[in-house]
Structures are given as structure tokens and as C-alpha cells.
Amino acid sequence: MKFFVDTADVAEIRELAETGLLDGVTTNPSLIAKSGRDFIEVVKEICTLTDGPVSAEVTALDAPGMIKEGEKLAKIAKNIAIKVPLTWEGLKACKHFTSRGTMVNVTLCFSAAQAILAAKAGATFVSPFVGRLDDVGQDGLHLIGEICEIYSQYDYFETQVLVASVRNPIHIVESARMGAHVATIPPSVMKQLAQHPLTDKGLAGFMADWQKTGQKII
């Protein structure tokens, strides 16, 4: 499974990139607004921090507007993935860009039916929102399983399942078990993956025993 980080905080992206665990970045208008910086400037800087896809989202609601905005965004860097909403107009824009070899992330997916349309439109990624489905009493992980199962039936579906709205490590582990290709993860949740109380307990024990020896490695 590939790990994308879901943030527009350049410092956080730089730190995660240094670990070698980062495969790409996703942004959205809300994350850009939170950064308080110029949209184009932030995206351009993010593209220098990773060789992987960087999702930059359009704000227009009609296909011509999405295409116009997307063409501007695509010029920022070669690793830009144009992010469009999973609407009828968004699917039109998706087809326009994928037909020209530009990566597209179709976002705000909440059903298997929508995911099928995204694959038919040639999307590079489809982003089902797990956490937001959980928030309204539905099973977000069940949707990941449905999409992975459907996509696996057709060799000509090349769209990757990009698990979004991740809230906890369980979302990531279970999605990986189902065969999802990518998870886009908030920095705090990515760090939670490394945490376990028994690891902390074991390390404390090792350190206590080492101190008793009175030795130093350096």
C-alpha cells in the first residue's frame, strides 16, 4: 500500500518525506485555507518535496471551468494530479485530462456505483471517504471492500483505490487487507501507526537494563 499524506503543511510534509515512507500528497481547498498561504505557491512547494503524485483540487463546478483550472494546475509540476469531484461534470473533466495523460484523482466518492463511473472515465485514483461514511452511521470500510472487489474483476480498470477521510490506524490496516492501493493519511494518524504500548514498555525495560551495565556505545 502506498502512503500519501493529507495536508498542506509544508513542514509536516518535509518531515515525513525524510522518513522515506511518503509516496505522495493530497490537498484540498480546506487544507489550503488552513495553511493561510497562496494556493499556487503552496502546491508548487509541495511538488518539490516528493516525486509522487500531488493532488491539487479544482474549485469550479462545471466541466469547462474544471478543465480551465486543471490545465493551469497541471503546469505547476509533472507530478500534479488534478483533483475533481465525483459529479457528472467532474467525470467529464476527468476524461478530458486522462485522455491527455494527466493524472486525475476523483474525490468525494461515497458509493460503489460512483467508483465504477470513475474507473470508466479513466481516473488515476478514486477517493472513497471512509470516515465521513462512518460519521453518518454507514460502514466506510465496507465500501472499500466493495470497490476493491469490483475493480479486481476487470483487468482494464486501472484506477487505484485511494482511501480518504482516514481517522485511525484501523482504517489503514483493514483497507490494506482488502487490497486498497493507497491511503491518504493525516500526519498525526500516520505517526500513530508506529505506536504500541508494548513497544514502549519493552524499550523502557531494555534501557533500564542497559543503564545497570554502566556501559556506553560511544
User: Looking at residue 32, what is its pLDDT?
Assistant: 87
Taken in order 149, 90, 76, 191, the sign of the CA dihedral is negative
- Indicate which residues carry an active-site annotation: 83
Residue 126: all three cell numbers together: 478514486
pLDDT of residue 43: 95
What the block records as the C-alpha cell of 183 is 491511503
Q: Give the pLDDT of residue 53.
A: 98
Cα 65 from Cα 212, distance rounded (Å) = 68
Is 90 exceeded by the pLDDT of residue 2? Answer: yes
* pLDDT (mean) for 143-153: 98
SS3 label, residue 118: helix
pLDDT tens profile 82-140: 999 999 999 999 999 999 999 999 999 999 999 999 999 999 999 999 999 999 999 99
Where do the domains of the chain lie, and which CATH numbers do they carry?
2-213 (3.20.20.70)
CB of 195 closer than 8 Å to CB of 26: no
Average pLDDT, the chain: 96
Query: Bridge-partner residues for 74, per DSSP?
Result: none
Rg of the chain over all Cα atoms, to the nearest angstrom:
20
C-alpha cell at 75: 503546469
Residue 88 backbone phi and psi in degrees, to 5:
-60, -40
CB hemisphere CA count around 152 (13 angstroms): 10
What is the pLDDT, as a whole number, of residue 35?
A: 85
> Is 141 a residue whose pLDDT tops 90?
yes
The pTM score is: 0.93
Residue 12 has pLDDT above 90, yes or no: yes
The arithmetic mean of pLDDT across residues 150-160, rounded, is: 97
Q: How far apart are CA 99 and CA 109, in angstroms?
A: 21
pLDDT tens digits for range 87-99: 999 999 999 999 9
- Give me the percent of the chain exceeding a pLDDT of 90: 95
CA dist 160 and 107 (Å) reads 12
Q: What is the mean pLDDT of residues 29-37?
A: 87
> What pLDDT, on the 0 to 100 scale, is given for residue 33?
87
